[in-house]
Structure 1
């Protein structure tokens, strides 16, 4: 996901989506407690298991993670060469 700058003040509601791509905003991946190395991928022990981390949920412990907007990532020629070699290898 490339990301878009956010204009949201406070935490998003369950039905709020990104203006740029329509992705859900109240998702585990946007929470300050999200940690892929923790149990249930959440550092907040009060939270219940959420199976789909990229979909909106009803977690009452959700806190929107504020991140610095860095804009789109510049293309890396070595990365593109590696992707092209893999596609050639797999016949895509």
Structure 2
């Protein structure tokens, strides 16, 4: 999983950790989450270990399967991006414009 910028890599690593922690907080096994998502347990393991990245749609599906609603999922992803993947200030995100 080395493609992408350092910030993107940091974000995906943080997302993988957050998903694993949330699953553990819910006392759900990887197999239980996999069944909820309609995938196999090995796919859950690959994501949680950072060997596979999720698309935005997949991340929302995982968060929903773990009990978050759409608003909570959006906030979680936004906060992870701000902390681990945010880009430096630029035209679209300077001074409260983005």
TM range (shorter): under 0.3
User: Whose Rg is larger?
Assistant: 1
